[in-house]
């Protein structure tokens, strides 16, 4: 279970401080697929980075399964079982997909096991297992390989920051299938996805709406989704995805 208590995050802009997150409180239970949504600039991605340890809150406390992790850095949080997937996956020139999966699993990994992880994200193992994780791969391919590493890690909390960013419609459709499978097979872990894509919102167990750096709504998807469908942010996001296709 993840708990955020009275979290605030401020940045300096010239001679003044700007509140990005303001006294935010939320709880994410285990075995939940949670989507965090809201208008652009509302603090969603900042919240994801705070949970992962990339940013440190100005105020407040963060707890993972009852343990205070507020002062722990990104490496320490990763060792406790938190994974973070960036909007734009990191490239690793000189590192092959198989090597990356072995690093993620933190154990001896057979070729067959690595292939299974790639199959889970819809990639043909023989075409990718020995590829370098570099710019020769498309955005959609990099995104799926990144998700495969998270599956290999078997983490307690997986965070995806706008996973639809920079991929085409075909890759997005595959992404939806991957998330549906992850939700179906969720065990004692939790998944948080930052997104305003309606098809991702439809998968959620719970939806959290962030507006102005605060939680404006949180609840079961069937309760929250009808309230936010047709909002400007959702409509513009769908139009953007259509143009990219």
89-111 mean pLDDT: 88
For the chain, domain boundaries: 2-88+156-244
205-214 mean pLDDT: 94
pLDDT above 80: residue 209: yes
Sign of CA pseudo-dihedral 37, 43, 49, 51? negative
Using an 8 Å Cβ cutoff, are 44 and 34 in contact?
A: no
User: What pLDDT score was predicted for residue 230?
Assistant: 66
pTM comes to: 0.86
Per residue in 138-180, pLDDT (tens digit) is: 888 898 899 999 989 888 999 999 988 877 787 888 889 989 9
Beta-strand relationship, 132-133 and 92-96: antiparallel
Per residue in 77-90, pLDDT (tens digit) is: 999 999 999 888 88
Burial 124-141 (b: 16+ CB within 10 A, else e): ebeebbeebbeeebeebb
Per residue in 27-59, pLDDT (tens digit) is: 999 999 999 999 988 999 999 999 999 999 999
What topology does CATH give the domain 2-88+156-244?
A: Rossmann fold (3.40.50)
pLDDT band of residue 16 (cuts 50, 70, 90) is: confident
Q: DSSP letter at 165? A: T
Mean pLDDT taken over the chain: 88
């Amino acid at each position: 279970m993840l708990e955020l208590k009275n979290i605030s995050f401020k940045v300096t802009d010239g001679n003044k401080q700007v509140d990005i997150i303001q006294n935010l409180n939320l709880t994410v239970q285990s075995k939940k697929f949670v989507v965090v949504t809201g208008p652009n600039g509302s603090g969603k991605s900042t919240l994801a980075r705070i949970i992962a340890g990339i940013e440190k809150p100005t105020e407040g406390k963060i707890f993972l399964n009852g343990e205070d992790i507020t002062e722990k850095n990104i490496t320490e949080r990763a060792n406790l079982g938190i994974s973070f997937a960036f909007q734009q996956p990191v490239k690793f020139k000189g590192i092959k997909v198989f090597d990356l999966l072995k690093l993620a699993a933190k154990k001896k990994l057979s070729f067959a096991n690595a292939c299974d992880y790639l199959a889970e994200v819809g990639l043909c193992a023989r075409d990718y297992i020995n590829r370098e994780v570099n710019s020769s791969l498309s955005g959609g391919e990099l995104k799926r390989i990144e998700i495969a590493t998270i599956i290999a890690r078997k983490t307690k909390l997986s965070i995806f920051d706008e996973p639809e960013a920079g991929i085409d419609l075909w890759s997005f459709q595959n992404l939806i299938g991957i998330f549906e499978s992850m939700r179906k097979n969720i065990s004692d872990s939790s998944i948080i996805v930052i997104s305003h894509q309606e098809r991702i919102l439809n998968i959620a167990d719970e939806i959290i709406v962030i507006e102005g750096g605060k939680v404006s709504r949180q609840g079961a998807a069937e309760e929250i989704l009808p309230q936010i469908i047709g909002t400007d942010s959702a409509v513009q996001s769908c139009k953007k995805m259509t143009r990219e296709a």
